[in-house]
Chain A
């Protein structure tokens, strides 16, 4: 979240889409209720089903799963057409005024400029700003000269020799794995051309306007299935906060995995971010783009590099071209790119300080200036090791073993049959869990005969881990708050703390390396032998010690006149990342968490609910990254002069007398930057401003979001019928990867969670099972009548991935029908007949309370979902795939 849970109470307008917080985040939903009760805030809910959140909505639209970009693109178009956007904010705080290079083409035919049809990827070098100066006033001449965005004829073409485009990272440069053949990667120009009148035909604003002008109410209605009057009502309601140029009101957008789990998930979120920038809602109390995280510590997992292409604190993973530390730092450190007269803080210019401090935390004294801070101990990635890619490689026999901690791979991944078969091919599998779940029981999944069981050679180890209440440590919530928790109960029986299990494995591995390090087959023992492991109890490190290590400390006596206090002695915990250095005198496992455990003691353990400003900041409750700041980019809550847009919600402000920024929240800005210097509020971007247009390789699939259909869709894309799906989405080729069409599989299906259950855990708990005893398939009354189905009938759900082998069917899902008014048939483009969406909750599979009864041994719902992922975030498309339904 750019903002936080409590901050939702400050809003005037809410759009909840791609998330169902009343269902899945009931405790956080209290702040939605608070905003409605106290501020008369309005709530718009857009979802494929009328769900619990919709029951609270002032306006509800039933959308077809996977058409969110169309809805939001229409919203942007509506705001632009009706002059309901924050003009000063857009000109000064976004890249709307920046001019884009000639040769950049909009995707009227489904393709941006630079598409490489053979490689299914883009050469993003034409997605860049034009180098230059202030061109305000030249728009008329440019229009007269026909100097607009490129056409298919004039568009920049993919040049085969160019460096490949990585799908990762923040998009500072378009370099692929460095060292690959080709010219130097494109970079942003230091001085960008710009037009403050926003009229130049190649300025971001005009390109955006042109791009979304195609998202008319009629077009959006034919894609989403939402009637035009309901669309207009939703758009009018949301943009009403900017009626008549008013800047006081604030709107928030709240989403969850209903947006991420698509082959264009990242672009849906981009569209939301653009909406919020356009309406001037980012950085403001009650505003922002707010992701609700599905597990109590998913935010922490991401911050600590739970994704293959980042290191803790969102530092990028090295690649094979990073032959030394300097090359790596140069590649990942952006340089400012902005209008010459403006200022850019470009906070990532500190990357080297964060990276060296990280390496010092990892390798301690073994990380020295002479050995490049042990940079070469870090693995370098030459391909995408995303979840789906790894399981695909295991299915292909390339991955020999798997250690599975904190996840239930068979249940959570797409196309479960393939994942079960992948595990059959592995030599060994280690699962740490608190239940004997589906993954460690893959060999007894439904449909496997006793004979077949005997053929499975995989050696399976089950390790008894600890439940959340049996461990201490921090949870990082959706609001980026680190909150310490204390263990409530000891681990039962033989169960052990997860980190004790990991430590034991590591120490054993290190011991083996120590014993055999001189043997020729010991290729590179240094990284393992030199890992810093200075814990009091090495085989079960205290999480307090680990948390302190992540925060970081001074390794030498430090002095800085500009900070208060001015000195820290060697060994003392550091109070914030402003102290981190790239000379080896500081360590920090994650720069973003620096300040969470300062020398005075853990800030994450603070429990003072005081809220002096009344804005829900609660500055002494827990600690939020970065720097205990509760709302990110909060400089944007003020106008150009540094005064709050809304004086009744004062977050930060520029104090003329001290010449510094002050506030109720911690200013997210250079403390002494005078507003006259025009420094942009989006300090993590090299432009200093928010990106309506994402230059270079920031996004793999386009600098603007474009509506593409899910890989399995009932519809030909009405925007460009020849290019229905995202052109950069890869289809997998294994014999179990099949993709269906709507002639055989007519029903778009979405999967979701229920309040009564928690992922795949609570099927082990009688209380949850009492509340919802068994899985079901939600279908409309109209579909039920068409197929002669009654509520409670047993249904068989199948996909293109279903089939039979040795007389036994696989890839099918059985559950009872829930016939409801809460899902309605949709009228879509080019279809005479309505399309009937269906929905299936997750939560059940073949291990749980019912597993003793043969008829309860059922597949998880992910036997149905296809293996296909978002090219930016690698998230599978669990929403909006095609199924067929029959009465079983």
Chain B
């Protein structure tokens, strides 16, 4: 969590947008991951664990160079390695997987706990474990399989986009550690510009299917829209993001999550009102509950 250096845009458990305290930022931040220059060195994995102060965990051999099958509650940044056969050749695709920091975050929408998830005006979506009730609705709400539950603490964790560093004017730890410059950080506009520039160059070098992965941007208004992300990718083959370790081609927040906390919110309201009404009618019909006379005698 940022220590109040970022301006809050939305807080979980509140109806609608809820501005909070903090310092305003002029622009939306964004991480650009150019998978075509990622060499899978895992410097970002190490930087993430070290910056966030997690204990090293035991891993097991799993017939791959990938550190573990998916991100973990204490391992938020994972490079996914995929061997993909092409015509007469092979691609070894490496993609850094982490929270995408959605503009309309499924996790935040799903979260019923007051203040467990906050979204800052610069686009960072952050978890505040102090307020987390461990219901794991956020896990259901995420189209990228990012939030991870810790059985011991009964809380959910994920990448903070280094809100503590960004709030202090620094780049995220993963960006700082990247040796090839495949990771970039800046305003969303700048990152989109850089990404398009790189794609153009890739295409001019024969990589005809190169493209930018920037789902849901601009906001298409579809029911499950994530409204854009604050992490975008350059993919060598943008036709099939799934082959980059399960990057969803069209990520969306599950319908019932969005519906429940959005259009169908009135249903909940009606339910509550119906309950209150029922209690009132019960009182009208039966009057106040009276203490049993026998019980009273015993006292």
Structural contact, A50 and B92, CB atoms closer than 8 A: yes
Which of B16-24, B144-152, B174-182 is the contact stretch?
A: B174-182
Known A-B contacts A27-B179, A33-B180, A33-B182; A52 and B39 likewise in contact (beta carbons under 8 Å)? yes
Residues of chain A lying within 8 A (CB to CB) of residue B42: 755-756, 771
Q: A160 near B: Cβ within 8 Å? A: no
B153-208, CB < 8 A from A: 179-182, 198, 201, 204-205
Residues of chain B lying within 8 A (CB to CB) of residue A52: 39-41, 92
A802-830, CB < 8 A from B: 816-822
Residues of chain B lying within 8 A (CB to CB) of residue A792: 61-63
Known A-B contacts A770-B56, A818-B63, A822-B83; A26 and B92 likewise in contact (beta carbons under 8 Å)? no
A33: which of B37, B50, B85 is its contact (CB, 8 Å)?
Answer: B37
Structural contact, A56 and B59, CB atoms closer than 8 A: no
Separation in Å of the B85 CB from the closest CB of chain A? Answer: 6
Instruction: Tell me the complex Cα distance, A776–B65, Å.
Output: 10
Structural contact, B46 and A771, CB atoms closer than 8 A: yes
Instruction: Tell me the complex Cα distance, A50–B37, Å.
Output: 16
Structural contact, A770 and B67, CB atoms closer than 8 A: yes
| 0/1 string, B14-51, CB within 8 A of A gives 1 | 00000000000000000000000101111101100110
Structural contact, B39 and A791, CB atoms closer than 8 A: no
Separation in Å of the A52 CB from the closest CB of chain B? Answer: 5
10 residue pairs, one from A and one from B, having the closest CB atoms: A791-B63, A766-B56, A22-B39, A55-B92, A26-B41, A27-B179, A26-B179, A821-B83, A770-B56, A33-B180
Q: A40 near B: Cβ within 8 Å? A: yes
Known A-B contacts A773-B58, A773-B60, A818-B63; A30 and B40 likewise in contact (beta carbons under 8 Å)? no
Known A-B contacts A792-B63, A818-B64, A820-B83; A40 and B205 likewise in contact (beta carbons under 8 Å)? yes
Contact sample, A vs B, 7 pairs, CB 8 Å cutoff = A22-B39, A30-B180, A34-B181, A37-B37, A40-B204, A55-B40, A822-B92
Main secondary structure of the interface of A (DSSP, over half): mixed
A37: which of B60, B93, B201 is its contact (CB, 8 Å)?
Answer: B201
Q: B3 near A: Cβ within 8 Å? A: no
Q: B57 near A: Cβ within 8 Å? A: yes
Structural contact, B201 and A767, CB atoms closer than 8 A: no
Q: A60 near B: Cβ within 8 Å? A: yes
A30: which of B63, B91, B181, B198 is its contact (CB, 8 Å)?
Answer: B181
Q: Which chain A residue shows the least CB distance to B94?
A: A55
Q: B284 near A: Cβ within 8 Å? A: no
Residues of chain A lying within 8 A (CB to CB) of residue B56: 766-767, 769-770
Separation in Å of the B246 CB from the closest CB of chain A? Answer: 18
Instruction: Tell me the complex Cα distance, A756–B68, Å.
Output: 14
Instruction: Tell me the complex Cα distance, A23–B43, Å.
Output: 12
A44-75, CB < 8 A from B: 50, 52-56, 58, 60
A13-39, CB < 8 A from B: 22-23, 26-27, 29-30, 33-34, 36-37
A778-801, CB < 8 A from B: 791-792
Q: B89 near A: Cβ within 8 Å? A: yes
Q: A774 near B: Cβ within 8 Å? A: yes
Instruction: Tell me the complex Cα distance, A822–B92, Å.
Output: 8
Q: Which chain A residue shows the least CB distance to B91?
A: A55
A binding-site residues for B, Cβ under 8 Å: 22-23, 26-27, 29-30, 33-34, 36-37, 40, 50, 52-56, 58, 60, 755-756, 766-767, 769-774, 776, 791-792, 816-822
Residues of chain A lying within 8 A (CB to CB) of residue B46: 767, 771
Structural contact, B62 and A40, CB atoms closer than 8 A: no
Separation in Å of the B97 CB from the closest CB of chain A? Answer: 15
Residues of chain A lying within 8 A (CB to CB) of residue B62: 791-792
Residues of chain B lying within 8 A (CB to CB) of residue A26: 39, 41, 43, 179-180
Q: Which chain A residue shows the least CB distance to B49?
A: A767
Instruction: Tell me the complex Cα distance, A55–B79, Å.
Output: 14
Structural contact, A773 and B59, CB atoms closer than 8 A: yes
Residues of chain B lying within 8 A (CB to CB) of residue A822: 83, 90, 92
Residues of chain A lying within 8 A (CB to CB) of residue B67: 770-772
- What 4 new A-B contacts, CB under 8 Å, besides A755-B41, A756-B42? A23-B39, A55-B91, A60-B89, A821-B83
Instruction: Tell me the complex Cα distance, A771–B65, Å.
Output: 8
Instruction: Tell me the complex Cα distance, A756–B56, Å.
Output: 14
Residues of chain A lying within 8 A (CB to CB) of residue B181: 30, 33-34
Residues of chain A lying within 8 A (CB to CB) of residue B85: 821
Instruction: Tell me the complex Cα distance, A821–B205, Å.
Output: 26
Residues of chain A lying within 8 A (CB to CB) of residue B58: 770, 773
Instruction: Tell me the complex Cα distance, A735–B9, Å.
Output: 76
Known A-B contacts A40-B205, A55-B91, A767-B49; A816 and B61 likewise in contact (beta carbons under 8 Å)? yes
Separation in Å of the B5 CB from the closest CB of chain A? Answer: 29
Q: Which of A55, A60, A755 has the most CB of B within 10 A?
A: A55
Residues of chain A lying within 8 A (CB to CB) of residue B198: 37
Instruction: Tell me the complex Cα distance, A766–B37, Å.
Output: 28
Separation in Å of the B203 CB from the closest CB of chain A? Answer: 12
Instruction: Tell me the complex Cα distance, A769–B124, Å.
Output: 31
Q: Which chain A residue shows the least CB distance to B206?
A: A58
Separation in Å of the B173 CB from the closest CB of chain A? Answer: 14
Separation in Å of the B142 CB from the closest CB of chain A? Answer: 25
Separation in Å of the B178 CB from the closest CB of chain A? Answer: 9
Instruction: Tell me the complex Cα distance, A36–B39, Å.
Output: 14
Instruction: Tell me the complex Cα distance, A818–B41, Å.
Output: 19
Separation in Å of the A129 CB from the closest CB of chain B? Answer: 45
Separation in Å of the A60 CB from the closest CB of chain B? Answer: 7
Separation in Å of the A6 CB from the closest CB of chain B? Answer: 14
Residues of chain A lying within 8 A (CB to CB) of residue B57: 770
Structural contact, A30 and B90, CB atoms closer than 8 A: no
B78-103, CB < 8 A from A: 83, 85, 89-94
Instruction: Tell me the complex Cα distance, A669–B36, Å.
Output: 41
Instruction: Tell me the complex Cα distance, A56–B207, Å.
Output: 12
Separation in Å of the B88 CB from the closest CB of chain A? Answer: 9
Instruction: Tell me the complex Cα distance, A850–B93, Å.
Output: 31
Instruction: Tell me the complex Cα distance, A770–B85, Å.
Output: 28
Separation in Å of the B273 CB from the closest CB of chain A? Answer: 52
Q: Which chain A residue shows the least CB distance to B201?
A: A37
Separation in Å of the B56 CB from the closest CB of chain A? Answer: 4
Separation in Å of the B271 CB from the closest CB of chain A? Answer: 47
A821: which of B40, B50, B90 is its contact (CB, 8 Å)?
Answer: B90
Q: Which chain B residue shows the least CB distance to A756?
A: B42
Known A-B contacts A27-B179, A767-B46, A821-B90; A56 and B201 likewise in contact (beta carbons under 8 Å)? no
Instruction: Tell me the complex Cα distance, A772–B85, Å.
Output: 24
Instruction: Tell me the complex Cα distance, A867–B199, Å.
Output: 50
Separation in Å of the B89 CB from the closest CB of chain A? Answer: 7
Instruction: Tell me the complex Cα distance, A822–B65, Å.
Output: 12
A54: which of B37, B92, B201, B204 is its contact (CB, 8 Å)?
Answer: B92
Instruction: Tell me the complex Cα distance, A36–B43, Å.
Output: 21
Q: Which chain A residue shows the least CB distance to B197?
A: A37
Instruction: Tell me the complex Cα distance, A647–B201, Å.
Output: 25
Residues of chain A lying within 8 A (CB to CB) of residue B83: 820-822
Separation in Å of the A471 CB from the closest CB of chain B? Answer: 23
Residues of chain A lying within 8 A (CB to CB) of residue B89: 60
Structural contact, B40 and A755, CB atoms closer than 8 A: yes
Residues of chain B lying within 8 A (CB to CB) of residue A770: 49, 56-59, 67
Structural contact, A29 and B39, CB atoms closer than 8 A: yes
Q: Which of B58, B90, B198 has the most CB of A within 10 A?
A: B90
Q: Which chain A residue shows the least CB distance to B42?
A: A771
Q: Which chain A residue shows the least CB distance to B79?
A: A771
Separation in Å of the B25 CB from the closest CB of chain A? Answer: 29
Residues of chain B lying within 8 A (CB to CB) of residue A58: 205
Structural contact, A771 and B204, CB atoms closer than 8 A: no
Separation in Å of the B180 CB from the closest CB of chain A? Answer: 5
Residues of chain A lying within 8 A (CB to CB) of residue B45: 771
Structural contact, B39 and A56, CB atoms closer than 8 A: yes
Q: Which chain A residue shows the least CB distance to B37?
A: A33
Q: Which chain A residue shows the least CB distance to B68?
A: A770
Residues of chain A lying within 8 A (CB to CB) of residue B43: 26
Instruction: Tell me the complex Cα distance, A72–B148, Å.
Output: 51
Residues of chain A lying within 8 A (CB to CB) of residue B37: 33, 36-37, 56
Separation in Å of the A112 CB from the closest CB of chain B? Answer: 39
